[in-house]
Homo-oligomer: A and B are copies of this chain.
Amino acid sequence: MNVLADRFAFVLFKPKAPGNIGAAARALKNMGWNDLRLVATERLNKRAADTMAVHARDVLDNAQIFPDLKSAVEDCGLVIGTTCRPGPYRRIAKPIRAAAPELVALSSTNRVAIIFGPEDFGLTNRELKLCDRLLTIPAAPDYLSLNLAQAVMVVAYELMMAAGAPIDTDRASDLPALAPAAEVDAMLARMTDALVAIGFLPGDNPDHIMFAVRAMLGRSGVTPRECDILNGIARQIRWFATGGRETIDSKRRAGRKIR
């Protein structure tokens, strides 16, 4: 039970559409899981399932098939049913986001089965009675019932997020490092000079409009490269404004190359 990917078993109970089974396999692989189980499914149209699984055919091919729900979950320490409908046994259904951290914690010592009902009616009370807990996916009151594979995706996604999203540093998500304030100030002064030189800003009171520019850049933050670009623009404007406009000396312009 050390491999995170094996800690959850995703159990589809009587799924009907092979496309949904394939799409569920893909959703699992997308979110880093691989244990798909099918219960009492009709003869699988492998081709239709493969089409939706795309590059998750390994998950699909390795899916175990069981005749009934009990045998499908017998190696699991915790059995969770999913439901979107209100009902006598369903009031205690916990939203997946609230449930996920505890399920991930429990999964370190117990394989956890998550059961999804058939497309048309979901799990009935008969199956829900086999479940230790229930979870639900929040949805708009107008249309509570998710497509089977979509439900699998949301649960798989929430469990992955709770388990700690795979961090790929190449795809770093935070804001890039920003240019030091002094460099941004110097750039803004250079830009102000340039815009005064071409008559866009009044020389006696350039700050009124530049304050707005600064506020805009302040909201975004300016990276060193962006600062380079803006400096380059200011220099080039200034160069033009001071009479260099007959020919464009690209070598001179390229005094500081921006990539």
Contacts and interface: CB of A to CB of B under 8 A. Distances in A.
B200 A236 contact: yes
Given A150-B150, A172-B91, A233-B200, A140 B217 contact: no
Interface string A147-178: 10110011001001100111010111101100
Interface stretch (A35-43, A110-118, A243-251): A243-251
A141 B161 contact: no
- How many copies are assembled? 2
Contacts of A30: 139-140, 143-146, 150
A63 interface: no
Contacts of A198: 236-237, 239-240, 245, 248
A52 B226 CA distance: 45
Interface in A9-49: 19, 23, 26-27, 29-32
A12 to B, nearest CB: 16
A173 B143 contact: no
A222 B216 contact: yes
Contact of A225 (B164, B170, B212): B212
A94 interface: yes
A90 interface: yes
B97 A161 contact: yes
A258 interface: yes
Contacts of A232: 200
A61 to B, nearest CB: 15
Interface in A202-248: 209, 212-213, 216-223, 225-226, 229, 232-233, 236-237, 239-241, 243, 245, 248
A195 B234 CA distance: 10
20 contacts: A19-B19, A26-B146, A26-B150, A30-B144, A86-B170, A91-B171, A95-B165, A97-B161, A136-B171, A139-B166, A195-B233, A198-B236, A198-B237, A198-B239, A199-B253, A200-B233, A216-B220, A216-B222, A217-B220, A219-B219
Interface of A: 19, 23, 26-27, 29-32, 52, 54-56, 86, 90-95, 97-98, 136-147, 149-150, 153-154, 157, 160-161, 164-166, 168, 170-173, 175-176, 195, 198-200, 209, 212-213, 216-223, 225-226, 229, 232-233, 236-237, 239-241, 243, 245, 248, 250, 253, 258
Given A29-B143, A30-B140, 20 more contacts: A26-B146, A26-B147, A27-B147, A29-B140, A32-B139, A32-B142, A55-B143, A86-B171, A91-B172, A97-B161, A138-B161, A139-B166, A141-B168, A150-B150, A153-B153, A199-B253, A200-B233, A216-B217, A237-B237, A240-B240
